[in-house]
Structures are given as structure tokens and as C-alpha cells.
Structure 1
Amino acid sequence: MILLKITDGDTRLPSPRVPQAADDKVLDLNTFEGNADVTVLPWIGISTDNIVNLKLLGKDNNNSDCTIQILTSHKITETEKISGIKESLTREQLLTLKHNTVFEVVLELLPNSITNSPPIKFTALKLNLLQIPLITMENFENWPAALISSPGQFIEGTSMKIVHLSGSGTIAITKAGYGRGKNPYSL
């Protein structure tokens, strides 16, 4: 019988996953609400003596290197020994990352706190982050004709609210064909 030592990137070790990135390629913040989860299945030899570091490496909105620490010097619990690791990445943390850039979720394992062994690096999960909000198109077909002329007044539809912020101007929503001298409010 030959026993193979577990080494960095060993295929017997599970890679971190983000369930909200179903294809393991893209994490699109427009496809889910709330936070994202980071999970790692239990691995060969997992024990409560194991200490792990789990982090995200990417680029921030200024294109600078960014590290988000998820777990630091974390000792595996009995529950994690059976079910694996499950942690959250907050939406606020994810929004600090630059749109359309690749980030990595990295897990490092220290076999135990007694030995000075170097950490074992699991295969990193690489995801492309999409965070630009979807654009809502409004055609105003189902909006009633409306007119606002005082600051603070507003017109509200199903997908947006139009607010008169300041000044003496007028904001109007009219049916197609009005304008150019026709006044829908004189009917």
C-alpha cells in the first residue's frame, strides 16, 4: 500500500465553492439578493486539530490588490468536521471589488497548531465578478398623464420614482402624440 502525502492543489482536496456562482465561473450580484456563501466540503483527514485561513483575493474598485479575510487562524469545529465550512461574504464586501474582474477564494490548511509545517493550499476557486446593476427600461405606456412643478413633488410608477428636486421647471408625463403645442391637461 502506498500512501501519498497531501500537497498544495491536491485533487483529493475540495476546492472552495460559492453556491451563488452556479457555474463556478461567474458571480453575478444581479442574480441573487443578500450575501454570498463560501463553502468547503470536508476533506480527507479533516480534524478539530486543523487550523484554516480562508480569504478572497481580488482587485478593488481602484484596481488595487484587495484581500478580504473570511476566516483567520480558525480551528475546525466538530460540526465543520462533519458538514464542512460555510461562511458568508457580505454584499458590502463584494461591492468593494472591481466589476468584471477575476477574484480567488483561497483556503490554506495548517495540519495542527503544534507542528511548524507549512500550510497546505487547496485549489483556489476563481470567479469573475459582475456587479453593475441591471438597467430597468421604462416605456411609460402604463403611466397616467401627470404634471409636477414644485420641488418635492413626485411621480411614481412601477419601476421608478421621478422627483422634482429644485428650481422652477415643470416635469410632465404625457401620452404619445402630445407635445408641440398640444396640452393633455386641457382636455
Structure 2
Amino acid sequence: MSTVLNSLAPTQNADYPKPHVQEAPSDSLDPLLGNPSGVHVEVVYPSMRLSDFIGLSFNGNDTFEVKNGSLFGKVTFLVPVADVTLAVGKTIQVIYAVVRPDGVILSEILNLIVQPIAADKLPTPQITQASEDVLDLTTFDGGGDVTVEAWPLIAVGQTVWLTLIGTMVDGSRFQLNLLDGYIIGQQEILNGIALNIPQVDLERLKDSSELTLTIEVGFGKSPSQHDAMSFPVLRLKVSAQLETFEFIPVQSTSLGGSIDTPFLEIALVSGSTSAIVSVVCYPPAAPRDIWYLHYNDNESPPAVFAMELRLKSTYAKVSFRWYGQASLFEAYDKNRILLSSQRHPSVGPKPIDISFSNVGLNVIKIFPDHTGGSIIEIIKLTR
């Protein structure tokens, strides 16, 4: 049809009224009404002839099969759902052309409103590890699993923006662009979207802050986020009683000294005067850890080394990752009453998880059996 229109000079005529979309009363279309077969565009004009060639343009697409006029004065075009999908959330033009030996006549224009898909028909993105609108970072490792169900009218070539927004421990803005103009393929049509938020990124979030996960979809396959439609937003509260040591300076202390962090005080309470406790990056590119160095200096009798993690509140569970020497671990309440203890052998190169579950936990005391060094990573605190 476009070849015909380009070769002739069409004229617009009020005797050829605008087309009508059966599924769009008042010229406003719910795009889901055209799923899965498409929508029906009716062409009716009083002077229709059997010899007329009638072509349709829907949102600029004029490649539909040309139809002959009908004795009944009406012809109907089926517009596939793919064309409807490209127009979601837009006002588009629908027009037909009548070709006769004496020229081409254009109808009046239908300005068709293609409504956005109703919010209650669209999926909200989810983080699998969240429960009752809370993402508790102390309850899982391995990152957060994001899922988005396949939405109505999903199609290959649509563009997607998936963004995680929150607040970092130091109060600054946190934004992670999980998908940035990602192009939908057949896999997403079958299974929806699935990806993982790295644990190291989640551990940067501030306790009790709001975390939002947004998804925007370009139904018209535009590369511009400005043209995308917003889906319902996932809003979560972050529970992050989590000491990662990320926002405190690299520092060391020796016997009798301590290091202060937002959730606890780290103290070296007994041992050699050469022993130190440090907050370091090990290796240098990694997140910060407690590096606990203890030496006996051939003292006689040998020095008994002990480090304390003095919590600033009481907790029901405390856990952390441990690399290093065989050690005794003891848990106390705020009155220094022993709640429980456990012993673990030397560990390396992979860490083990040390965990205490006792109501009123306030102090963890660590006694290494031998000289050397040990590392503590990421202390998780659960009330």
C-alpha cells in the first residue's frame, strides 16, 4: 500500500469517515482486549465499490494486505497484537486509503488512545529473600534473587530498565542498575526475568532504610528510558544489623586498646604486648575485615590471648565468618554470665560460619590456641 501512496497524490475527504476499532468504544483501547488475536479495524463509507482497493495504516504501519470493497459497504482489517503492543500508552493515528483509477482518497484520521496496561495487570518485581516487606540481610548469603514474572504483551525486542535504589550505611544514595536498556529475548518470554543482586552490594545498605526495586518497560522497543512504562514498585525495609567494617578507617590497636564501630567495640583483652587487632582490607581489593594477630614471644608461661567483640546492644543471634587458628569461642550476656561456648579447629583457606543463638547475647570472647593470625568477616546481628 505504501508504494501506491507514494506514487499518487492522495486527497483527504470528509465523505470517507475515520475508521473504527471494534474493541475501542469512544476511540480508547484497552490493549489487553486485543490479546492474543489482535484488534479489528472497520472501514465504512457510503460510496464503497467492489472495485475499490482499500489499504490501512495503523500507527504508521501500512503493510497490511489491501482489501477490495464490499457489497455491504464495510470491510474489516485484523491488526495483530504485535502492532497493538508497540502502541501501548500512546495516542496513535489510524487511517485508510481508497484507490480508484482517478486517484487516491484518504479518510479522516482516527486518533486512537491506546491505554497503558492497568497496574493491577502488571507484575511487581520481587526479591525472593524478602518476607513481609522486610529484607533481613542477616538471614541469607549468596545475594538476593530478583524475579519478574512475564507481563501481558511481553515481546522479543522490548527494552527493560531494572533499578535498585536505597541508602548506604553512611547515609549516601545507593543505586544499582541491574538492567539498563536490556533487550527481551525468548528466554524472558517463557520464564520472565531472573537475576541476582551481589551480596556485597546488599551489605552496603543502611539498617532500617527503605529499599525500592523498579522496573520500566519499553513496549515500543525504544532505547530511551523516557519512553518506557513504569510497573508497580517493590518497597522493602532493610534489616541490616550487619558489621562490614566498610565505613570505619583502617586502623590497629594493641593490648588494652579497642576499635569502635557502629555496632560493637573490638578489644584485645589479654596476651602479648606485641599482639595487635586491626581493621584491614585483605587482600587489599577486598571488603574490610578484622585481622587478629597474636604472638607469644616465647613468654614463660605462654601468654593467653583473648579478643572480645563487645556488642552495643543485646541480640538473640550473632554469627560471623572465621578464618584462622583453632580457637575457643564463648558467648556472654551483659552481666558477663557465660551463655554458651564452642571450639573449632584451624580453618583455611575457606572460612567457616561461627554462630551463637542465645537470648541476651552481648559479648563474644575468642581464645586462639596457637600463635599466628586469624580473620573475622562480616558480623551478623539478629535481635
TM-score after normalising by structure 2: 0.36
In structure 1, what residue type is equivalent to 2:233? A
Query: Aligned to 1:131, which of 226, 235, 240?
Result: 240
Task: Provide the rounded CA distance (Å) in 2 between the counterparts of 1:39 and 1:6.
Answer: 22
Contact 2:203 2:242 in 1 (8 A): no
Deviation at 1:66, TM superposition (A): 1.6
Tell me which residue corresponds to 2:162: 54
Render the CA deviation track for 1:92-112: whole Å, top value 9, x for unaligned: 010111111011000011113
SS of the counterpart of 1:72? strand
Q: Matched residues in 2 for 1:59 and 1:129: separation?
A: 9
The alpha carbon displacement at 1:22 in A equals: 3.0
Which residue in 1 is equivalent to 2:97? Answer: none
Equivalence for 2:141:
33
User: The residue matched to 1:56 in structure 2 has which SS?
Assistant: strand
Aligned partner (choices 10, 16, 26) of residue 125 of structure 2: 16
Name which of 186, 202, 220 aligns with 1:78. Answer: 186
User: Mapping of 1:156-171 within 5 angstroms?
Assistant: 156-157=328-329, 158=342, 159=354, 161-163=366-368
Equivalent runs, 1:96-115 vs 2, <5 Å: 96-114=204-222
Cα-to-partner distance string for 1:147-166 (whole Å, 9 max, x where unaligned): 961569874242573349x9
Using structure 1 for the length normalisation, give the TM-score. Answer: 0.70
Alignment gaps of 5+ in structure 1: 136-146, 167-187
Q: What is the DSSP-based 3-state SS (H/G/I as helix, E as strand, rest coil) of the residue aligned with 1:11?
A: helix
Larger Rg: 2
Write the deviation string for residues 115-153 of structure 1: whole angstroms up to 9, x where unpaired: 877210001100111121499xxxxxxxxxxx9615698
User: What is the root-mean-square deviation of aligned Cα atoms in Å?
Assistant: 3.1
1:6 to 116, 125, 128: 116
Q: Which has the higher contact order (CA 8 A, sep 6+)?
A: 1
Kindly indicate which of the two structures has a greater share of residues assigned to strand: 2
* Structure 1 residues 148 and 37: alpha-carbon distance in aligned structure 2, compared to 1, 3 A threshold: farther
Structure 1 position 33, deviation (Å): 2.0
Please state whether the residue corresponding to 2:241 is helix, strand or coil: coil
Determine what percentage of the aligned residue pairs are the same residue.
Answer: 24
Q: How many residues align?
A: 153
Counterpart of 1:161, as a letter, is I
